[in-house]
Copies of this chain bind each other. A is one copy, B any other.
Amino acid sequence: MDAVRPVFYVSDGTGITAETIGHSLLTQFSGLRFSTDRLPFVDSADKARDAARRIRSAGEAVGLRPVVVNSCVDPELNRLLAESGALMLDIFAPFIAPLEEELGQVRNAHIGRAHGIVDFDIYHRRINAMNYALAHDDGVKPDYSEADLILVAVSRAGKTPTCVYLALHHGVRAANYPLTPEDLESERLPAILRQYRSKLFGLTIDPVRLHQIRQERRPDSRYAQLDTCRREVAQAEAMLRREGVEMLSTTHASIEEIASRVMEHLGINREMY
């Protein structure tokens, strides 16, 4: 068994940027094992010294040099962290010089610690969008006039997590409409959705996977039976295809990928928060 190499995401803020890029980098190496730790809010010399000690010990404990993916901007903190002996990957450093040259300005590390500044407007938009998603989840209160988009699918195909993700990360007002057995029998788009065609996006899913998910929710119910799942998915796909509603299978897609593809198809361009 190979040893597990310690990886630390170190930041003077939340460490989300460091962890995001660090995770992307590590997945490009196969067959190796990593243990990952987040060390957020390292914003003083004392904390940097503590972090360096912890990183060094973790490396000594397994006999492998640790990797530090680091987004601290203060050079003094970075110097203290480097005393850990780890491989230091500073995720901002390589891009600062070319950006400074192109933009004709020296960066000011203090003005924009990622995720550190809070814009009340943005906070508001996220929260309002999330409240909207929760209020319009599973067709409970179907007023779609304010929706940016409406996800249409059978129950448990991935609508709710996608809507919540879209709200939290893009401030998108995402509603969802669960296709009921009655809708599916009718073979037509439910009346309430017809006036919002340009906002619709369909999700589908492998019936076996759907069966597993429903089985966990309501074990051995008619709702969870493989036959029911097969029939509902076939009916939903046929209906959405006939009505010309774009569709995506969630079976092998992450929530991020589903959200990204939905926005791309509907031409919704929002910054990520």
Residues of A within 8 A of B (CB): 5, 13-17, 19-21, 23-32, 36-38, 40-41, 65, 67, 71, 73, 87, 89, 91-96, 98-99, 102-103, 105, 107-109, 111-118, 120, 123, 126-127, 130, 134, 160-161, 164-165, 168, 209, 213, 252-257, 259-261, 263-264, 269, 271-273
Contact = CB atoms under 8 A, between A and B. Distances in A.
A14 B99 contact: no
B27 A111 contact: yes
The 10 closest A-B pairs by CB, nearest first: A27-B112, A24-B114, A94-B94, A14-B260, A28-B107, A115-B256, A20-B20, A17-B24, A28-B112, A87-B102
Contacts of A30: 105, 108, 111-112
Contacts of A73: 28
Given A24-B114, A115-B254, A256-B14, A32 B102 contact: no
A18 B161 CA distance: 22
A94 B4 CA distance: 24
A111 B28 contact: yes
Contacts of A271: 19, 23, 36
7 contacts: A27-B111, A36-B271, A127-B213, A130-B164, A161-B168, A164-B168, A168-B255
B117 A27 contact: yes
Contacts of A111: 27-28, 30
Given A28-B96, A38-B260, 16 more contacts: A13-B257, A16-B260, A16-B272, A17-B24, A23-B114, A24-B92, A25-B92, A26-B112, A30-B111, A30-B112, A31-B105, A38-B269, A67-B102, A115-B257, A120-B209, A123-B254
Given A161-B126, A161-B168, A255-B126, A28 B109 contact: yes
A15 B114 contact: no
Given A102-B65, A164-B168, A264 B29 contact: no
A255 B165 CA distance: 13
A117 B252 CA distance: 8
Given A89-B99, A118-B253, A255-B126, A112 B24 contact: yes
A127 B161 contact: yes
A131 to B, nearest CB: 8
A89 B96 CA distance: 10
A252 B118 CA distance: 6
B105 A32 contact: yes
